Amino acid sequence: MAEVAGGEHAHHGPKHDYNLVDPSPWPIVGSAAAFVLAIGGVFWMHGVMGGGVLLLAGFLGVLGTMFVWFRDVIRESLRGDYSEKVASMLRIGMVLFIVSEVFFFFAFFWAFFWGALVPPDLVTTYWPPEGVDPLPTWEIPFLNTLILLLSGCTITWAHHALREGDMDTCFKGLAITVALGIIFLSFQIYEYVELVGYGLTITQGIFGSAFYMATGFHGFHVLVGTTFLIVITMRAWYGLMSKERHVGFEAAAWYWHFVDVVWLFLFVSVYWWGGNLTWVSPAIQ
């Protein structure tokens, strides 16, 4: 009887405030998928045979890893592994992650402003590159700005509904936010096709490289955020959140608002200011 009682007592959960995760294959799998994605991207941009296949395989591997990793985290949450102390540390971890992302994008803004404000002395350079003068600021970029601002409102609406215990409204707000994220990405892809047709490529000096690196990585972050929100939307649909405990929702909302703010800076500095700034640097003979 003592052994049975001890066995039952062992399933009541840990005696401490910290979560000891089960062994997981997803960190190494995710790292391998990210490596394949990076190598495939480099090969594809340099025209190496099979680069596109590697790029697609790595991309699908990263998305698949995200979903199964989310699945395991949800299972841990439903199992009761997350105490309030663990939830607090998850929030702190998300905040620190967003801070690291701020510095990540800061590097691209630094490169763009440096290229715009310090014309080279030794070679003749056009800003923006020839054929793209000025950058079409008030077309797709402005429309995408409105879309992201609206998505920030819808996710806030969903959050307020969740805190009130209204899961139906929460699901609707999240679904609209996901749809807006997909629309944003669709417009950005269309914009890239147009700009390449104008002659603006990543090889067009500092402007082209900084433009595509900054806006492209932002688009990747929108893709990651949309995937994150799809998982949260599914949790809302199946009732796997409560108004008292919804750390995953908070993390997704914080990340999405960060993506919105970065886009506002991109729109103002890269599209509006930098895209309409024109100069030609005379070469020193």
54-63: pLDDT as tens digits? 999 999 999 8
pLDDT band at 273 (very low <50, low <70, confident <90, very high): very high
Check residue 122 and give its pLDDT.
61
Residues in a beta bridge with 126: 280
Confidence of residue 9 (pLDDT cuts 50, 70, 90): very low
**What per-residue confidence (pLDDT) applies to 283?**
58
Provide the 3-class DSSP secondary structure of residue 113. helix
Q: Are 155 and 253 in contact (CB under 8 A)?
A: yes
- Interval 241-245 mean pLDDT: 80
Q: From the DSSP assignment, how many helices (H) and strands (E) are in the chain? A: 9, 2
At 95-110, the pLDDT tens digits run 999 999 999 999 999 9
pLDDT of residue 171: 95
Task: State the angle between helix axes of 84-117 and 247-265 in degrees (0 to 180), rounded to the nearest 10.
Answer: 10
Burial 147-180 (b: 16+ CB within 10 A, else e): bbebbbebbebbbebbeeeebebbbbbbbbbbeb
How many other β-carbons are positioned within 10 Å of the β-carbon of residue 203? 10
Cα separation, 204 vs 153, in Å, equals 36
Give the Cα separation of 19 and 149 in Å (integer).
36
Query: Higher model confidence: residue 67 or residue 82?
Result: 67
Pick the CATH number of 1-82 from 2.60.40.10, 3.20.20.140, 3.90.79.10, 1.10.287.70: 1.10.287.70
Percent of the chain with pLDDT over 70: 90
pLDDT tens digits, one per residue of 28-45: 999 999 999 999 989 998
The residue with greater pLDDT, 60 or 243, is 60
| Percentage of the chain exceeding pLDDT 90 | 54
Using the 8-state DSSP alphabet, how is residue 266 labeled? I
Helix axes 140-163, 167-198, angle to 10 degrees: 170
Residue 41 class from Cβ within 10 Å (0-12 exposed, 13-18 middle, 19+ buried)? middle
pLDDT at residue 131 is higher than 90: no
Q: What pLDDT, on the 0 to 100 scale, is given for residue 277? A: 83
As a dihedral over the C-alpha atoms of residue 217, residue 219, residue 225, residue 226, rounded to 10 degrees, the angle is -150
pLDDT band at 47 (very low <50, low <70, confident <90, very high): confident
134 prior amide bond cis, ω within 30: yes
Predicted confidence (pLDDT) at residue 215 exceeds the cutoff of 80: yes
- Where exactly are the structural domains of the chain? 1-82, 84-281
pLDDT score of 110: 93
What integer is the mean pLDDT of 238-252?
86
Q: Which residues contact 139 (CB under 8 A, 6 or more apart)?
A: none
CB atoms within 10 A of CB 63: 13
Identify the CATH class of 84-281.
mainly alpha
219-248 average pLDDT score:
89
Give the whole-angstrom CA distance, residue 270 versus residue 124.
21
Lowest mean pLDDT among 82-86, 170-174, 246-250, 260-264: 82-86
Q: In terms of pLDDT, which residue wins out, 21 or 104?
A: 104
**pLDDT recorded at residue 123:** 64
CA-CA-CA-CA dihedral for 151, 152, 157, 159, to nearest 10: 120
Mean pLDDT within 164-189? 96
**125 strand-pairing partners:** 281
Question: Could you give the CA distance from residue 165 to residue 232 in angstroms, rounded to a whole number?
Answer: 15
**pLDDT (mean) for 43-51:** 88
